Each structure stands twice: as structure tokens, then as C-alpha cells.
Amino acid sequence: MMDEREEEEEEEAWLQLRPVEPLPSQCCGSGCSPCVFDLYHRELARWEAARASKDRSLLSGEESQSCPSKLNPETFLAFRISAVDRLTKDTYRVRFALPRNSRLGLRPGQHLILRGKVDDLEIQRAYTPISPANAEGYFEVLIKCYQTGLMSRYVESWSAGDTAFWRGPFGDFFYKPNQYGELLMLASGTGLAPMVPVLQSITDNAEDETFVTLVGCFKTFEGIYLKTFLQEQARFWNVRTFFVLSQENSPEQLPWSYREKTRFGRLAQDLIEELVGSCRRKPFALVCGSAEFTKDMARYLLCAGLAEDSCFLF
């Protein structure tokens, strides 16, 4: 039998093995399943069972995932940064290398969780890869940085050769070819990200005849992301692109190819009704942007006659 001192030492040893509850900053707020708090409670239950039976081998389930070889939602996996491309003054396109020309394994529009650390504070945020779902040997993400953002400080410290940690995939939108007559994509800023792989999966598939109307909302023309890609996509027979610029008001300052498809101000009810009315087939709407943008678009689409089950809000 153990004496009192040995029992105290044993208790201290068990307490050191107890999982640490995540901070609020470690939750990305995207409704992922499992969430970082789900993982914590799962590990805590395993620790409590092991402690009750005084059997530390029961904790080995956690260690078995310490060196995973395939992306999964529960365990962060390291990826090497191969390129960092600054698209605008505050937005980056970052490429990550995948081993042996493998594929990431996401469906178009699904997202990942990035883990960062700043001033000894761990943070997690959700980002959607913009690379094609069938891309081999790499994946790319679009990341906007903010002056006061902790994750932004972490991202802005990146350079080629660094390592970042991701887990996933997450997301409940699963696109199937020809599932909808037309997709009406409404994106604000980096909300363009989940639209990109969905759009490219359509234009890459000669048998997918889904029409696409993509509306990108940005502050200025210079702030439009992925212009070359979007111009290339607009050349397909089944794709239309439009832009709404909130901080410009002169079409004469735009290139000729953008003048007819650019509006100024905010994407509001009247333009939504015009877009829905001009769709060539019954549309299914995809919406991604800020919480305010998403809420407004959902309301406008309902007022324009779309049913709730004809919209997906990323």
C-alpha cells in the first residue's frame, strides 16, 4: 500500500496529465464538428476513466494520433509553406505542399481549421482552400489580415519553408454535378473562397451543365481578388460574373471588360431581385461573407422568392 506522501505524488502526477481546457480564442466559431471543446471533453472523459482505474495505458488513444499521415478533423497535421503571394495590401494567397503529389481530400467548398500561436496564446480560425479539389501536391488558401487580429500577426510572419498546422475537413455543402439548374453565388471579400473550387469543379467537368452567376462584392476594383481566374471562368458558356464596388462610383475608371458587369454601392434588395429574375434556370443560392452580409443576403433572397431550402449560407 502507498503511504500518504506517495498518494500525494501519485495524485499530482495524474493532475499533470489532465487535459487543459481550451481558451475561447482557440475556438474558430465556425460550428465545426468536432469543435476544439468537443475534443477537450472527449480527452477529459478518457483521463477521468484512466484515473478512476489507475491505468495510464487508457490514455494511449491520444498518443496514437500524434503522428498522423492523413488529414482528419480531430488532429492537427503539419504542412510546409511553399509560397506566399500578396494579392492586396492586406490579403495573401498561401500555397502549402502535399507529400508525393497527393491530394488534400476535400470536397469543393469545405474548409479547414488553422492553428496559430501568438504571445503564448493559441488561436484557431477557419479558412477554405481555393485550389481545385483535384489539385495534386499542393493546396492554397486565401487569407485576409486585420491590424488588430492575432491570427493576422501569425500569418504575416510566414515565409516559404515555414510550417503551419491544419485539421479538417469541415463543411456541410456537398456539390454534385448537375444537381442544380443554376448556382447564384453571392460573395463578399474573402467570402469568395468557397465559391472558387465549386466554380472550377463545374467548368473542369464537360458533362456538368450547371449555370453559374457569381457576384463578388468588394470595396474597390483594385481590391478584387483573383481577377485573372474570374475573367477566365467568365469565358465559359455557362458562367456569368458581376461585381459590386462599395467605395467607387465611376465606371469610366474601370477597364472596358468590367464596365457592363459592375455596379456601385451595396448589394441590396433591388439588385438581388434583378439577379434572381435574370437567372436562366431556377437558382440555388450560395452565400459567404461577414455575418451581417450573410444575414442581409438571406433576407433579400427570401423576399425575392427563393425558399429557405434553396439557399446555403457558408
Instruction: Give the separation between CA 170 and CA 127, rounded to whole angstroms.
Output: 10
Instruction: Give the separation between CA 314 and CA 223, rounded to whole angstroms.
Output: 22
Phi/psi at 100 (nearest 5 deg)?
55, 40
144 assigned ligand-binding residue: yes
Amino acid identity, residue 282?
K
1 assigned ligand-binding residue: no
225 assigned ligand-binding residue: no
125 assigned ligand-binding residue: yes
33: which residues sit within 8 A by CB, 6+ positions away?
73, 170
Omega prior to 169 cis, within 30 of 0 = yes
Instruction: Give the separation between CA 292 and CA 266, rounded to whole angstroms.
Output: 12
152 assigned ligand-binding residue: yes
Instruction: Give the separation between CA 85 and CA 91, rounded to whole angstroms.
Output: 9
Instruction: Give the separation between CA 212 and CA 52, rounded to whole angstroms.
Output: 58
146 assigned ligand-binding residue: no
Binding site residues, as ranges? Answer: 125, 127, 142, 144, 151-152
Annotated binding residues for FAD, written as ranges, equal 125, 127, 142, 144, 151-152
